[in-house]
Amino acid sequence: MSTASSARAADLRAGDPKSSAPASASAKKAGAVASWVDERTGIAKGASFMLKKVFPDHWSFMLGEVAMYSMIICLLTGVFLSLWFIPSAGQIPYEGSYLPLKGITMSEAYSSTLGISFDVRGGLLIRQIHHWAALMFVVSLSVHMFRVFFTGAFRKPREINWVIGTMLSMLALIEGFAGYSLPDDLLSGTGLRAAEGFIRSVPIVGSYVSYMMFGGAFPGEAIIPRLYAVHVLLLPAVLIGLFTAHIILVMVHKHTQYSGPGRTNENVVGFPLMPVYTAKAGGFFFLVFGLLSLISALVTINPIWAYGPYDPSPVTAGSQPDWYMGFADGALRLLPGWLEFELFGFTLSLNVFLGAVLLIPVMYTITGAYPFLERWITGDNREHHILDRPRNVPTRTALGVAAITSYLVLMFAAGNDIIAIRLQMSINDITRAFQVLFFVAPILTFWVSRRICLSLQRHDRDKVLHGRESGTLVRTPDGQYYEVHEELNEFDRWKLVGFESPAPLALPSGKDANGVASKDAKKELRRAKWSKFFFTSRVEPVTPAELAAAHHHGEHEAIETPAGAGAHAIKQAKHD
C-alpha cells in the first residue's frame, strides 16, 4: 500500500521540470511568483492560450481600441471627479474662489463643479479629460461601428456582437447626456428642461412619468442625485458588462481579417499577443490618453463658470447639446408643428415625441436588425471571417452611406440658426431645405455611392487585366505611342480578385409546386425581389480565363484603353 502511494506521489512529481538555473535573480523571483499563482489558479493553461493568440494588424481595427481606451479613461477620471462632486440640487451661496459668481445662490452640484475647476489643483484638467474622453468615446465608437458595417464584419457568427455594440452605442449617448446634465449649469439645466418636455410628450403616461422621474414638479431636487446614480453606477456597470461580453466574443470568434494572400476564411494571420500586440495595443492606450491630455490642456470644453447656475428664466442664446445629441435636436427643429393635434380631447405632440423620444430607439433597432435583414435577403448561412472591401458589396455600402446621410442631415439641421446667420439666408428657407434633404439626400447618396462602388470595382478589374500604369511611354516603329503596363504579381492580384459576387436569387413564381399561391412561396418571392435589389448591379472578379484572354489580346495595351473595360461584367438579373 505504502509503495503504491509513494509511487503515485513520485508520478505526480515526474512531470516537474528539472529546474535549470534561471538567468538572473529577478527572473528566479518572477518564476517563483508565477509558480505560486499557477499552483493556486492553474492560470498557465489560460495564459499560454491567450499569449499565443493572433491578432491581425490594420489601422481600422484600432477604432474599437480607441473606444475602449476612451471608456477606460472616462471611468478613471470619473472616479476622480466623484471624490469632489456633490450630487445635490440643494441651494447654497457660492463661497469659492471664482470671483464673478461670489455670493450667488446656486446648487451644490454647480458649486462643487466650480470647486473642481478652480479650487482643486489639477481638477480642471481631470474634468476636461473626462469630457473630452466622453466625446472621443462616442466618436470612436461610431466610426468603429461604420468600419464593422462597411466591411460586413457583422455577418455570421458575429451578429450578437453587432447587437451588443448597438446597445453600447445607445447607452453611451444616454451616459453622456446624464453626465452633461450633472453640473447643473444654465446650459445643462436648459437641456434638462427640454428633456422634461420630451417626456411629457409621451402619449397617455407622459405627465406621470415626468413627475416620477423628477420626483415632482420640474426641476425639483431629485433629478440631480438620480442622474448621478445613473451616470456613475447604473450605466457604467451595464457598459462594462456589455463591453466585457463584447471582448470575450471577439476572443471566441477570433478577429476578422481583410482578404489578402495567405489569409483565408479558415485562418488568422497576424501578430501574437505577446509581445507585438501587447506593445502596440498597450502603447496605443498611452497614445490615446496622451492625446486627450494634450487637448484638455489646450482647448477648454464646457466652461460651466461662463454660463452661470441653472435658473428657469434667463435666456440661453445659442444653446446646443454635445455633438452626439445634435441629431435629435435637429430632428426636433425639422418636425413641423402641425404634428401636434388633438385626439378625442387628448393632446398628441408627435412633433416632439417622434424626434425626442422615438428617434433614438427606432434608429438603434434598425441598426441592430440589419445583419438579420441582410442574412434573410442573401440567404447566406455561412461563417464569414474575411472582411468585404466596401466596394465589393455596393448595395450594402450604399445603404450605409444613405443612413449616415440621414443622420448628418439631422445633425446639421441642429445648426439651422447658425447656418442662417452665416449664409445670411432666411431660417425658414434653410429649415425647409433640410426637411426636403432629409428625404431626398439619402436616396441621392445611395445612388451615387453605389455608382462609385461599381466604378471602383471596374477599375480594379482593369488593373488586374491590364496591369498597373507604369508611367513609361513607348513609341512603336510605326509612330504609335503606348504606355507600358506592369502586370500585377500574384499577391497583389489576389487582393483584387479574392472576393465573391453572388448573383441574385432567381425570381420564383410566387406559387408552390402545385401552382397554388401559398404563403411560403410568396415569402420566397419577396425575398427574391430584395435579393435582386441587393445583388443586381454587380461586377464580378476577374477569372483566370479572362486574364489569359486579355494577355492574348495584345502584349501592349494601347493608351486609349476603352473606359470601363469590364463593363461587360455587369450582369443584369434576368426575370424568369
Partner 1 sequence: MSDPRLPATFENPGLPPHVHRAADTDPRAAKRAERQVASLFTLSILSTIGFVVSYFAVKSDTEAFIPFIGTTNLLNVLLGVFLALALLGIGFGAVHWAKTLMPDEEVVEERHPIRSDDETRAKAVGLLEAGAESAQLNRRPLLKATAGTALGLFALPLGVQLAGSLGNPTKALDELKSTIWDVKDGKPIRLVRDVERTPIKAADVSIGAVFHVLPETIKESHHVLEDKAKAAVLLMRLHPNDFAADDLGKKAKSWGYEGIVAYSKICTHVGCPVGLYEQQTHHLLCPCHQSTFDVTRDCEVIFGPAKRPLPQLKITVDAEGYLVAPQGFAEPVGPSYWERKK
Interface residues with ligand HEM (CB under 6 A)? 71, 74-75, 78-79, 81-82, 85, 113, 116, 127, 130-131, 134, 137, 172, 175-176, 179-180, 182-183, 231-232, 236, 239, 302, 304
State in angstroms the smallest separation of the CB of 120 from partner 1.
Answer: 9
Minimum gap (Å) between residue 302 Cβ and partner 1:
14
- Closer by beta carbon to ligand HEM, 89 or else 153: 89
Residue 303 beta carbon to ligand HEM: minimum distance, rounded to whole angstroms: 9
Residue 137 interacting entry, from partner 1, ligand HEM, none, C-beta within 5 to 8 Å by type: ligand HEM
**Exposure on the CB side of residue 537, measured as CA atoms within 13 A:** 19
DSSP secondary structure letter of residue 41: H
Comparison of 108 and 524: residue with beta carbon closer to ligand HEM: 108
Q: From ligand HEM, partner 1, none, which one binds at residue 217 (CB under 5 to 8 Å depending on kind)?
A: partner 1
Using alpha carbons, select from 190, 77, 63 the residue that is nearest to residue 138. 63
Instruction: Kindly write down the DSSP assignment for every residue of 404-421, as one continuous string.
Output: HHHHHHHHHHTTHHHHHH
Tell me the closest approach of the beta carbon of residue 430 to ligand HEM, in angstroms: 29
Cβ proximity to partner 1: between 310 and 534 the closer is 310
Element (H, E) at 386: strand 386-387
Question: Using an 8 Å Cβ cutoff, are 196 and 46 in contact?
Answer: no
Q: Could you say which of partner 1, ligand HEM, none residue 239 binds, taking C-beta under 5 to 8 angstroms by partner kind?
A: ligand HEM
Residue 127 or 450 having the CB closest to ligand HEM: 127
Least CB distance to partner 1 at residue 258 (A) = 13
Residue 113's binding partner out of partner 1, ligand HEM, none, with CB under 5 to 8 Å set by partner kind = ligand HEM
Binding partner of residue 145 among ligand HEM, partner 1, none, CB cut-off 5 to 8 Å per kind: none
Q: How far apart are CA 311 and CA 189, in angstroms?
A: 8
Which residue do the cell numbers 428625404 mark?
A: 439
| Cβ 81 to ligand HEM shortest distance, Å | 4
Which is closer to ligand HEM, CB of 171 or CB of 454? 171
Angle (deg, nearest 10), helices 394-413 and 326-334: 70
Nearer to ligand HEM, 122 or 544 (CB): 122
Long-range contacts of 372-381 (CB under 8 A, 24+ apart): 372/159, 374/155, 374/534, 375/155, 375/156, 375/159, 376/527, 376/530, 377/527, 377/530, 377/531, 377/533, 377/534, 378/502, 378/531, 378/534, 378/535, 379/505, 379/527, 379/531, 380/155, 380/156, 380/502, 381/156
When the beta carbons of 55 and 85 are compared against ligand HEM, the nearer one is 85
Distances in Å between the Cα of 322 and the Cα atoms of 40, 188, 423 are 49, 10, 23
Closest distance to partner 1 from the beta carbon of 91 (Å): 8
Q: Which residues contact 370 (CB under 8 A, 6 or more apart)?
A: 149, 154, 162
Q: Which does 351 bind (CB under 5 to 8 A by kind): ligand HEM, partner 1, none?
A: partner 1
Contact assessment for residue 97 and residue 119, using Cβ atoms and an 8 Å cutoff: yes
Give the one entry of ligand HEM, partner 1, none that residue 74 binds, where binding means its C-beta sits below a cut-off of 5 to 8 angstroms depending on kind: ligand HEM
- State which residue, 202 or 232, has the beta carbon closest to ligand HEM: 232
Strand partners, 387: 258
CA pair distance 495, 55, nearest whole angstrom: 19
Q: Residue 176 binds which entry of ligand HEM, partner 1, none, with Cβ cut-offs from 5 to 8 Å by kind?
A: ligand HEM
**Entry field: residues in the chain:** 576
Q: How far is the CB of 138 from ligand HEM (least distance, A)?
A: 7
Cα torsion angle, 40, 42, 44, 47, sign: negative
238 binds, among partner 1, ligand HEM, none (CB under 5 to 8 A by kind): none
Pick 495 or 522: Cβ nearer partner 1: 495
Distances (CA, A) of 295 to 133, 162, 290, 478: 10, 31, 9, 64
Candidates 183, 5, 7; CA nearest to 107 is: 183
- Picked from partner 1, ligand HEM, none, the partner binding residue 530 (CB below 5 to 8 A depending on kind) is none
| C-beta closer to partner 1: residue 501 or 518 | 501
Environment class of 550 (CB within 10 Å of its CB; exposed 0-12, middle 13-18, buried 19+): buried
Q: Which is nearer to partner 1, 226 or 529 (by Cβ)?
A: 226
Q: Shortest distance, CB of residue 94 to ligand HEM, whole angstroms? A: 16
CB of 496 to partner 1, least distance (A): 9
How far apart are CB 130 and ligand HEM at their closest, in Å? 6
For residue 183, the partner it binds in partner 1, ligand HEM, none, with Cβ less than 5 to 8 A by kind, is ligand HEM
